[in-house]
Amino acid sequence: MTSFTPPIHGSNPHLPFGDQQDSPFYGQDILSVKQFDRAKLEYIFGVAHEMYEMVARVGSFDLLKGKILANLFYEPSTRTSSSFTSAMERLGGSVIPINNVSYSSVTKGESLPDTVRTLEAYADVIVLRHPEIGSSALAAKYAKKPVINAGDGAGEHPTQALLDLFTIHEELGRVDGLTVTMMGDLKYGRTVHSLSRLLTLYDVKLNYVAPEMLRMPAEIKAEIGAKGLPQAAYESLEPVIGETDVLYVTRVQKERFEDPSKHEELKGSYVVTTETMAKAKDEMIVMHPLPRVWEIDMAVDDDPRAAYFRQMEYGLYIRMALLAMVLGKA
């Protein structure tokens, strides 16, 4: 029997004229920080820096004119979703926003593979946030077009880790030699899972400050230990605040708790205040992926070392760089 090749799909519709197929990450999924090495990171940071300069100079430009992004969010988001939208629109492209899947066919029982196969018929790239670990890898298995993981449950958040590292790089001018202290929910916080893995490409010391029930998972510590990074766990910030170059604070991920009363117990136990900042180095930064709930007192916002609002702006340039790269335009 001869196989039937439908006319449109007979040619390769994914290699439109003008794309640079030798562009790093062209046509690739971005699923985990394990995909990066230092050379690739430097390349991404170089492109992100150019994006920053272009936005400062002209605001938006037509690099991705005619390209479409499907922004598919099964979990709440303000920054990740709107920075991807802004990134695509500043590059002249457009966006199919599915920020509330309860208004989509997901509510009718459509599976993730079917939803992504639908969206790739209309879009050139899919950004996905989903509550289950491994959901982006599953989506990528079914999609022919690039899938970018915007958070898969307590798994990974690779684009956040890239913007976090870019923030450290831009604010402190280096990554090697730094002491990075992660504090808060290290068990369920996907941003610290991705960032700690990404930092294994550098010569850094990692401190983990968390209550016993929210400690960094043993398998991630083992991965990091295998790469030779020094790491130490504490139940309080006090012993390490004075040596910290980057204090990375996270929110308790209450949506991942089976017993909500446990979340209440932890409320207020790890808070950064102006007293904390008085014990910190003059040249250091405080980061937070945001949203902040109670972990950083608002009085800290005026301290020049508070980098969390600048951090979120760096995310725009990183996401512009990634979109341009996976679509073959950088």
User: If you count them, how many residues does the chain have?
Assistant: 330
Indicate the pairing of strand 205-209 with strand 179-183.
Answer: parallel
Q: Could you list the residues that contact ligand NCD (CB under 6 A)? A: 79-80, 151, 157, 160, 190-191, 250-251, 289-290
CA triplet 180, 183, 188: central angle to 5 degrees?
Answer: 115
Q: For this structure, is 244 an active site residue?
A: no
In the complex with ligand NCD, the residue whose CB is nearer, 232 or 293, is 293
Closest distance of CB 184 from ligand NCD, Å: 9
In 3-state terms, what secondary structure has residue 11?
coil
Is 146 or 158 the residue whose CB approaches ligand NCD more closely? 158
Question: Of the listed 67, 90, 129, 319, which one is catalytic?
Answer: 129
Residue 319 bears catalytic tag: no
Distance (Å) of CA 45 to CA 1, 100, 176, 214, 329: 51, 31, 16, 32, 15
Which residue out of 2, 9, 57, 108 is catalytically annotated?
108
The HSE-up count of residue 2 (CA atoms within 13 Å, CB side) is 3
Which CB, 315 or 328, lies closer to ligand NCD?
A: 315
Place of tokens 């608002």: 298
The secondary structure element, H or E, covering residue 129 is strand 125-130
- Could you say which of 157, 169, 197, 329 is catalytic? 157
157 has catalytic annotation: yes
Provide the 8-state DSSP code for 326: H
Show the tokens assigned to 180: 């990075």
Residue 208 near residue 232, CB atoms below 8 Å = yes
Please identify, using beta-carbon distances, which residue of 63 and 272 lies nearer to ligand NCD. 272
- Min. distance of Cβ 192 from ligand NCD in angstroms? 9
Please say which residue, 63 or 307, places its beta carbon nearer to ligand NCD.
Answer: 307
**Which residues sit opposite 232 in a β-bridge?**
207
Strand partners, 208: 182, 233
Cα–Cα nearest to 227, from 190, 194, 196, 248: 196
**Shortest Å distance, C-beta 155 to ligand NCD:** 10
Catalytic residue among 49, 79, 144, 281: 79
**Buried-state track 46-58, b at ≥16 Cβ within 10 A, e below 16:** ebbbebbebbeee
Residue 126: phi, psi to the nearest 5?
-120, 130
| Residue number, 45 or 308, with CB nearest to ligand NCD | 308
Written as six digits, the tokens of 32 are 């985990």
Question: Smallest distance from the beta carbon of 176 to ligand NCD, in angstroms?
Answer: 25
Give me the least distance between CB of 139 and ligand NCD, in Å please. 17
Find the catalytic residue in 80, 159, 167, 181.
80
- Give the shortest CB-75-to-ligand NCD separation in angstroms: 7
Catalytic residue ranges: 79-80, 108, 129, 157
